[in-house]
Structure 1
């Protein structure tokens, strides 16, 4: 629900951008149906797909937003079709080319569910609305999904329509313009794989994920999911191999099964935490099919950061990875001070100089306070640096100081230690960047 509200807010504010790039539409629909089929099966729903053979292999559109639209429509169809004793639920996803020119594709999602009364069809795409008040109580939801879908379709230059008969089913139809595209150039790195991403390529290009998974089917699933999300990754078949690869490679996150031969996920996490010895901590996420009582607690105690269960939906995996691998912010936003004090370059130069002096004096004081376990001093220094860093546009340092404050508030000594360890290199890099801006005169 929070993700829906954030997406809707971005759309309404005009801040959501469409990123058109080559994508394999047939594979996108096929993979999405494969991802949702276990959910459909669990609800007693048959999920079918029918894709016309004349759809071009490569087309240009925004894969992430297209998947978001279809994920919502197919998910809704499954939700409103399941649980009916009189007949089995059935959802059909069909794609075909529309007649005429320019090139357009028609994608329909049909179900045999509860249907929608004619008088309620007009409010389906309104934010925070559902067909009836009882719908939220029975099925949940934010009432934003279809409103977001319609706005995304508008941004893609398409149309969305709905037809429904109460107690018989509903059909949503997308009509989207497409342009035939060429396949992207293949990567020359066979070990680390990069496929056409669903997220912004620039934000993920340098992020590398190490996957530890022994089951061949699960390996193929997670490999496809990470490729669709645009992450580069390497695969290990058990914990011992993953540990060796982590020691040799430069990875940003580890995604590990818990139950593997030779070395399981618990031992892998514990070994890595011991080897890190207070250095920068790599996020380790557990991904397991055994959602047993106490297992999540055991995984966290072993040093893992989050516990995920298989099969995991693509959107849920994307959200989890985004939590631990957020897009890197710029070290310094050179326009931040201009927005605050105008284009007085002398004033900006003076403020940046004062900030540099404060940064150089406060950094050693912060480390000294940590060595003496002076929590109050750390809190005061982090708060002061957070405010001044944000004011001058030192974004990443400001966020780190905010994280230090939060760690103190939560009484999380491990998070505090990690933040202090990250502070020194980030403070050095930030100071160097500001010195460069002052030298080059790029102050606006």
Structure 2
């Protein structure tokens, strides 16, 4: 592999590796920051919820105690007490003790206290306390007993605003009723200070001193404790943070911050307590959370590294596999290069062979033309020259068609034109094409029909003909004189479903066969077996490649089996779409038929087909047995209704068998010759021997039905050959659009003998003008070339169809050398009725004209 490519691949891999590591690192760092931010949000939410819960719990407890104090006032209304005697004191004492209070006192407006129950207590922040009481507020504060015990005090105003308070011993009226509880009840009531919890809750005054301290703190002031821990933690902005905290406490607003608590990060959340001047400070150490976060971060980093490693390993594996594939691709490219060089050499050899193959018929054409010119006064020799020129021209045309087809295949432009065809007509056409060559080489040719369920199917008839003709042409070329060539046509259900029928075409010969090496390359382009046995056999080396391509395009298969000097077998399998419309029911009377053929397969298939149309069939393999069977039935007065005799049989052929059978059974029983050969060459001899008629192989069910129907009572025999022979086109007018004068002359000379009157138009525009200038119905058809100056055949056709004339639908037939299926489709799409390829096949052209032209008094219609 190129060193630059290898270096590029490695540099790309290392760069991609570095990029992945960098991306993973950035993602991990970003996720850690996001985790910290998310943790802070979670802790804030959690602390806020916990503080709110504790705050509400404290508020509930305070409200409950204040309600209890109010209950004392309701139990002992101030207006019901005129003097503070012993009885009243005892009532207050009982009310306080019942509610769990350990202290109860009355306070005057000036702040003088009269203790009714418990010890004397010094009120903290007495001025604030009196101000709230005198204003009718409720207040919770602290007090200290003479013994130094801190007490939680609840006070409510009793004299405000109506100056109706309890009388005091000094003759004054009290302004407030105050009760006390031990300070420890706050912790118990609020579940604060539980050792197992991570959260500690303190209550502080505005100056930072502790009201309730639920942890071992070395300082008496919360601010100093937090500041000292923050400095130990290295927080440079701790003074600013403490200023914000003090400001929030004084303003009685919530505040949250993160500081060092005991050497580790702690989350501090402050919230004011209702009905007090205090602030609740909740502290949650984040050591466990930080450890969990660190563990999670480490796990994330290791997971990211593991993921990165896995991806890197996968990339490395992919890289190595790609590297390996690249090396294989380079090796394959080298092989492809070698194949291309081999193909180029093959094409060069092919062109060399084609040059020889093309020059051979061209030499014959030129030579025979020169000979005919020199011997113009010798009709027989000129006729022989013209026959050889015709044969050479057809061979040259076949070579050109193969090259053009291969060009279409290699450019991917060969298309299929699916149409409704008759397999019987296809096989009949094949027989008519190969008959002359088979007769010339005296080869034995037979077609076998087995289990044909659908005669009419959808297929590209032209391409199917091409496949079969290619296979048969090879069989004819490579089978020596006297050899055998068989075609077998059979059908079976298709795996593609009920809408299709699987059709098999089997072409077998007893020719020279092929070597195993050549069999593996037979379907390659530009390949011919390099063997002295085939050097004198004409061919382009493209037929099998074209055949394989057509079969593949039809989603079919083609297989070959061959053995040197023993013959070859080609098997084509196609799944063809059925024609849904049912044909007319083909049934004949229950006649007894005798089938005579030396091939058992043909006898069996013919007997099966006869039974399908309602007949009873016996068969035998030779003429002698046939005569005995017919004679025995004749003696029993139950003659066969019809006898079918093969023409070519060993020992006694069909004509001799017919002659001897007539001697035994008389003239009443029709005897028909069945053969794949031309009837004309043996008709006179056969008639003289007593043969009643002829049936052409292959014996399809329809062939048998229509061939035997003429023997029904009242039926008229139809002889297509006689009809064609009697066709007369005298008076028919054709408008021929052709820009080449030589082609016009050829068309005139070929068509005029049949009675046609031809008018020449040198291009499409002149053709349109002559059509428009003629009377409606003057021309019977238009023969339209496609490639013409001024206006081509397509434009001329569209212009004629657009004319405002009753005969604008005149039959227009493309007469062109553009003979591919896409050319035919384009002709039909632009409005033409049919297509005839150059060089002209007069039989097909006459059949097309007869089918398209309307009948006239002097025509054949």
TM range (shorter): 0.3 to 0.5
State the structure with more CA Rg: 2
Q: Which has the higher contact order (CA 8 A, sep 6+)?
A: 1
TM-score normalised to the size of structure 2? 0.24
